[in-house]
């Protein structure tokens, strides 16, 4: 087995490190946040993910997994750092790969010929090439000396530990030898099919997967607006339409969140702005759904205020970007709740997967149910299912109050 240095101990890096350690690799986890390093070395976790606490505790106790601030010599370097975006030209968000390049600079002093460098961060096309060029500039090690490849994760929060092992993987090398080296490494813990290609193709594969989902969610969100206008239950509509053997409409929500689906389409659009009208339109539909929700809540609160003779108390249920996780990245629910607070509404925010938040006061579900006049369900967390909502004014954006609890 290898010594593996995992750069970034977040929502992907930490579970990956635990899976690698369980597979028998010696894993050195690296994170710039000393609090994260300290927590991990105590065998604890700083994120919510089922069964991850046990995996980290076991692998740290066994000595196969430890964390530190700086990289150390290893056989395999796996980069799993954020790739956010910032405003750019033509009104399109632009990819920001600063953290990827910083990771390259951090590992450069300890790289040796024959090492395998794997980039897992969602990245715009050409990022792996930039990574290789920067490493070559810093170390004089070329792609003939190192194996450099791109292998994007494609896991679902809430099922990460299982899907890191079971899902197929696409491995794109800067050279064919790098792709083969990547396949050999992933075969030590992955049971899914390992597919090799070029780095540029693998980068676009990842972006394509999430853009496909974004476009389809946009169709569902647009249907929800149509149904509201025509006084039709959108979830009943979709359920009936999906009985067609070749139709599978997704479910609408209050927008689209998470670091992947809400971000990746812009990476494609930024690279080819004049070729991507559909992708850009889908992004704007999904982002626009947040504004629609805010306006609907404001209108409902105003109507209740007229009835009650006082400002309505609004229970915003859920801040995470998807059910049963604590991940707030690009969360439409967080954006909606924040905007309602900024607007001066009396908001009782509830996120059962967080103990606190830097800017929003969190309330227990019991308190929200006891005090709120309007319940706004933004995320279908498990604790929100099966509640007795008789007597409440309810605005359900996620289907959590449907009779079967489906979303």
Summarised one tens digit per residue, pLDDT across range 135-187 is 999 999 999 999 999 999 989 888 999 999 999 999 999 999 999 999 999 99
The token pair at 32 is 């710039």
**Residue 158 region, left (φ>0) first, then alpha (ψ -120 to 50), else beta?**
left
- pLDDT class for 403, splitting at 50, 70, 90? low
Res 332 pLDDT > 70: yes
What is the mean predicted confidence (pLDDT) over 275-292?
97
Q: Tell me the whole-structure pTM to 2 decimals.
A: 0.90
Give DSSP secondary structure letters for 128-176.
HHHHHHHHHHHH---TTTSEEEE------TTSHHHHHHHS-EEEEESSH
Strands 147-150 and 169-173: antiparallel
Res 404 pLDDT > 90: no
Torsion angle defined by CA atoms of residues 116, 120, 122 and 124, in that order, rounded to the nearest 10 degrees: 10
What is the mean predicted confidence (pLDDT) over 101-122?
97
What is the mean predicted confidence (pLDDT) over 63-80?
98
Active site residue 260: yes
Neighbours of 306 (CB within 10 A): 8
Q: Could you give the 3-state DSSP secondary structure of residue 376?
A: strand
Res 390 pLDDT > 80: yes
What is the mean predicted confidence (pLDDT) over 74-84?
96
- pLDDT class for 121, splitting at 50, 70, 90? very high
CA 66 to CA 89: how far, in whole Å?
42
Active site residue 190: no
User: Given this model, what pLDDT does residue 339 score?
Assistant: 97
User: Given this model, what pLDDT does residue 88 score?
Assistant: 61
Strands 3-7 and 76-79: parallel
Residues 216-268: tens digit of each pLDDT: 999 999 999 999 999 999 999 999 999 999 999 999 999 999 888 999 999 99
Q: Could you give the 3-state DSSP secondary structure of residue 310?
A: coil
Q: Could you give the 3-state DSSP secondary structure of residue 407?
A: coil
What is the mean predicted confidence (pLDDT) over 90-105?
90
Res 286 pLDDT > 60: yes
CATH code assigned to 241-396: 3.40.50.720
User: Given this model, what pLDDT does residue 260 score?
Assistant: 86
**Percentage with pLDDT > 70 across the chain:** 98
What is the mean predicted confidence (pLDDT) over 288-309?
97
Res 87 pLDDT > 80: no
Q: 3-192 has which fold?
A: Rossmann fold (3.40.50)
Give the residue range(s) of CATH 3.40.50.720 domains in the chain. Answer: 3-192, 241-396
What is the mean predicted confidence (pLDDT) over 332-342?
97
CA 400 to CA 407: how far, in whole Å?
6
User: Given this model, what pLDDT does residue 94 score?
Assistant: 87
- pLDDT class for 1, splitting at 50, 70, 90? confident
Residues 3-43: tens digit of each pLDDT: 999 999 999 999 999 999 999 999 999 999 999 999 999 99
- pLDDT class for 407, splitting at 50, 70, 90? very low
- pLDDT class for 124, splitting at 50, 70, 90? very high
Task: Please state, rounded to an integer, the average pLDDT across all residues of the chain.
Answer: 95
Q: Of 4, 5, 151, 206, which residue is the catalytic one? A: 206
| Lowest mean pLDDT across 87-96, 165-174, 288-297 | 87-96
Tell me the helix, strand and coil percentages in the chain, rounded to 5.
45, 15, 40
Question: Quick one: three-class SS letters along 39-94?
Answer: HHHCCCCCCCCCCHHHHHHHHHHHCCEEEECCCCCCCEEEECCCCCEECCHHHCCE
Res 89 pLDDT > 70: no
Res 406 pLDDT > 50: no
Q: Of 5, 254, 260, 398, which residue is the catalytic one? A: 260
Contact criterion met (CB below 8 Å) for 129 and 87 = no
User: Given this model, what pLDDT does residue 93 score?
Assistant: 85
């Amino acid at each position: 087995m290898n010594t593996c240095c995992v750069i970034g101990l977040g929502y992907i890096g930490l579970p990956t490190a635990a899976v690698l350690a369980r597979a028998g690799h010696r894993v050195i986890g690296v994170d710039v946040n000393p609090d994260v390093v300290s927590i991990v070395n105590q065998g604890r976790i700083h994120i919510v993910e089922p069964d991850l606490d046990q995996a980290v505790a076991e692998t740290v106790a066994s000595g196969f997994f430890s964390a530190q601030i700086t990289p150390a010599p290893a056989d395999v370097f796996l980069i799993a750092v954020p790739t956010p975006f910032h405003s750019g030209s033509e009104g399109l968000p632009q990819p920001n790969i600063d953290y990827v390049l910083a990771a390259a600079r951090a590992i450069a002093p300890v790289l040796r010929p024959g090492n395998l460098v794997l980039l897992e961060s969602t990245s715009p096309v050409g990022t792996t090439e930039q990574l290789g060029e920067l490493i070559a500039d810093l170390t004089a090690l070329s792609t003939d000396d190192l194996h450099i490849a791109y292998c994007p994760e494609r896991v679902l929060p809430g099922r990460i530990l299982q899907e890191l092992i079971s899902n197929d993987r696409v491995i794109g090398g800067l050279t064919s030898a790098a792709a083969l080296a990547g396949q050999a490494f992933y075969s030590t813990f992955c049971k899914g099919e390992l597919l090799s290609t070029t780095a540029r193709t693998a980068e676009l594969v990842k972006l394509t997967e999430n853009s496909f989902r974004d476009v389809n969610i946009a169709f569902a969100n647009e249907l929800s607006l149509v149904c509201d206008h025509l006084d039709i239950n959108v979830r009943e509509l979709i359920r009936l339409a999906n009985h067609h053997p070749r139709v599978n409409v997704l479910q609408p929500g209050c927008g689209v969140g998470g670091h992947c689906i809400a971000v990746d389409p812009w990476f494609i659009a930024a690279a080819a702005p004049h070729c991507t009208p559909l992708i850009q339109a889908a992004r704007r539909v999904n982002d626009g759904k947040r504004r629609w929700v805010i306006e609907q809540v404001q209108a409902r609160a105003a109507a209740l205020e007229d009835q009650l003779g006082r400002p309505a108390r609004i229970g915003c249920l859920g801040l995470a970007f998807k059910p049963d996780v604590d991940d707030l990245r690009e969360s439409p629910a967080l954006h909606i709740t924040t905007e309602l607070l900024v607007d001066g509404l009396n908001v009782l925010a509830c996120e059962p997967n967080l103990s606190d938040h830097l800017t929003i006061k969190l309330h227990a579900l019991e308190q929200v149910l006891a005090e709120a006049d309007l319940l706004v369900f933004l995320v279908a967390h498990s604790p929100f299912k099966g509640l007795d909502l008789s007597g409440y004014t309810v605005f359900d954006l996620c289907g959590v109050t449907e009779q079967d609890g489906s979303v």
